[in-house]
Structure 1
Amino acid sequence: MGPALLFCPADRPERFAKAADRADAVILDLEDAVAPGDKDAARRNLVDSDLDPETTIVRVNPVGSADFEKDLAAIRQTPYRTLMVAKAEDPAALGAALADFDVVALLETALGVVRAAEIAQVACVTALMWGAEDLMASLGGESSRHADGSYRGVAQHARATVLLAAGAYGKGAIDSIYGSIEDTGGLELEARDGVASGFAAKACIHPGQVPAVRAAYAPSEDEVLYAAELITESENQGGVFSFRGQMIDGPLLKQARQTLRRAGR
């Protein structure tokens, strides 16, 4: 999957195909985006849909809830096998309920973030994502960001905790949504920070956010050229060497290869 993941409410089937076409993967949402009275209809829409299973994720309600069991019954009637589990907190419950799925564990409560490393070790978990506003609500807070759009300290800590847990156990990390739909400049800056920090993807809440995320994840021509020349030079060197005035070692070569991978090379 590419870097731009787009949420789409499962009670809006007329949007499914467009969302799938606009983004690198679509997240059909059975949880917060759907009102309680519309959840049964949303599940029927899910069963009737025919999106590509390779680029479709279904966000389900928390494990152990009555809605989760209904969600799972509906999903088993579809070819979709990648689930995003809302408010994931219990590693054992995840593994027991979803062993035959690929799971994106959404860590958006204090307990979920504290248990990030344990959840990352569950075999069926392929990626971790964090959620800022639900996290703040679980703490009794009111907002994850300052007036200038930057994250408060506790949100920064949660973001780093989830990223480190994912990296420690070889799982993907997905960055939280950017709530200001019109501020695509701020979104791109945050996505660029996510790329530089190691996030594999970022979730979007509007199709208009997708280009900014893709732009952030696409390396510039200069970055690609530098990385390619650096890798070529490394083949003629042994150990640490100097390249364009910088000392180059293993970690910098690994970063260059990651740049080339993002460029499709």
Structure 2
Amino acid sequence: MIPSKSALAGPAILFCPADRPDRYRKALERADSVIVDLEDAVTPEQKQAARDHLREWCEDPRNHSILTTDPVRFIVRVNSPSSDFFVDDMETLRSTPVRAVMLPKTESPEDVDRLIAELPEVAVVALCESAAGVARSLDIARHPAVVAMMWGAEDLLASIGGLSSRLPDGRYRDVARAARGTVLLHAAACGKASIDSIYTNYSDTVGLAEEARDASGSGFTLKACIHPTQCEIVREAYAPTPEEIRYARELLAAVNESRGAASFRGTMVDDPLIRHAENVLRRTRTL
């Protein structure tokens, strides 16, 4: 059975190079979920060594509970189906109990089909990082094997001939923001989890906190990290503040006490405001 969206642990999901098995458990200790990366984080010369390390780690009985009890905490990013490394990745994963796979450069439901043909029972995190992938992200999100959607900024800009995803002040260019919103909305429309892209400047803690707060406020389920120190910043950004929690509780109390239309702090309360408040309190129970 394919794990469900609800099995995803967040909000901080951390990339870890597959050729550094000494970091796997450390990453799991720091983050809510981990993506062990066979793709961009590993040079072509190290691909096979990385696969061997991954297989050996999965075979170690000390790690079996991680892979079986909470299977979507441990995700493996494979190489894309169009690469020369995909077949060997599939051969490796077939011999492991890995239950969640990130598929990079996903551009169509057929890409997901190809992965599922090799690994029928895995949960798929589809990474849309090209113009074609973003354009077809709704169709991709509809695929029953997909449990989460992620977007990638730099590969996207490269695919359309751009030079960088961000302006000099660190803000995303409009085209990147459009892609970000598109993938988020299509994931939500299909009831799938959503993962915001990485913040590459890991020394800029202020910029990361601002972007993570925006990701949280916009509705992203998780925020991807590339350094362990980013995880706690993301968690803090996703956690409602005491004032936000107090406001939500008082608003819902006012609604419950009212026999008709409710007014709270000078504002008429309608259904969207009620759901916003419920979302705040829901996060206090899950973060």
**Smaller-chain TM-score range?**
over 0.9
Q: Which residue of 1 is the match for residue 57 of structure 2?
A: 49
- Structure 1 portions without partners, runs of 5+: none
- Structure 2 portions without partners, runs of 5+: 1-8
Q: CA deviation at 1:252?
A: 1.1
Conserved? CA contact 1:239–1:249, under 8 Å = no
Decide which moves more: 237-246 or 192-201: 237-246
Q: CA deviation at 1:238?
A: 4.4
**In the TM superposition, what are the counterparts of 1:155-194 in structure 2 within 5 Å?**
155-194=176-215
Q: Which residue of 2 is the match for residue 256 of structure 1?
A: 277
Residues 147-205 of structure 1: per-residue CA shift (max 9 Å, x gap) = 10000111011101111111111111100000111001100000100111110110000
2:22 maps to 1:14: yes
Q: CA deviation at 1:233?
A: 2.6
Q: Which residue of 2 is the match for residue 223 of structure 1?
A: 244
CA distance in 1, matches of 2:28, 2:50: 17
Q: 1:62 to 1:96 in 2, by over 3 A?
A: closer
Q: Which residue of 2 is the match for residue 153 of structure 1?
A: 174
CA distance in 2, matches of 1:139, 1:37: 28
Q: Which residue of 1 is the match for residue 4 of structure 2?
A: none
Q: Which residue of 1 is the match for residue 76 of structure 2?
A: 58
CA distance in 2, matches of 1:121, 1:239: 39
Conserved? CA contact 1:89–1:111, under 8 Å = yes
Q: CA deviation at 1:230?
A: 2.0
Q: Which residue of 1 is the match for residue 132 of structure 2?
A: 111
CA distance in 2, matches of 1:96, 1:145: 33
Question: Which secondary structure state, in structure 1, belongs to the residue aligned with residue 198 of structure 2?
Answer: coil
Conserved? CA contact 1:63–1:94, under 8 Å = no
CA distance in 2, matches of 1:8, 1:130: 18
CA distance in 2, matches of 1:124, 1:176: 21
Q: CA deviation at 1:144?
A: 0.3
CA distance in 2, matches of 1:96, 1:260: 40
Query: Which AA in structure 2 matches 1:11?
Result: D
Q: CA deviation at 1:63?
A: 2.2
CA distance in 1, matches of 2:157, 2:135: 14
Q: Which residue of 2 is the match for residue 80 of structure 1?
A: 98
2:46 maps to 1:28: no
Aligned-residue CA RMSD in angstroms? 1.4
CA distance in 2, matches of 1:239, 1:107: 45
When the two structures are aligned, how many residues end up with a matched partner? 265
Q: CA deviation at 1:118?
A: 0.7
Aligned-pair identity in percent equals 52
Q: CA deviation at 1:232?
A: 2.6
Q: 1:38 to 1:194 in 2, by over 3 A?
A: same
2:151 maps to 1:143: no
Conserved? CA contact 1:128–1:174, under 8 Å = yes
Q: CA deviation at 1:76?
A: 2.0
Q: Which residue of 1 is the match for residue 3 of structure 2?
A: none
Question: Which secondary structure state, in structure 2, belongs to the residue aligned with residue 66 of structure 1?
Answer: coil
2:112 maps to 1:94: yes
Question: Which secondary structure state, in structure 1, belongs to the residue aligned with residue 268 of structure 2?
Answer: strand
CA distance in 2, matches of 1:145, 1:239: 47
Q: CA deviation at 1:72?
A: 1.8
Per the normalisation by structure 1, the TM-score is 0.96
CA distance in 1, matches of 2:114, 2:252: 44
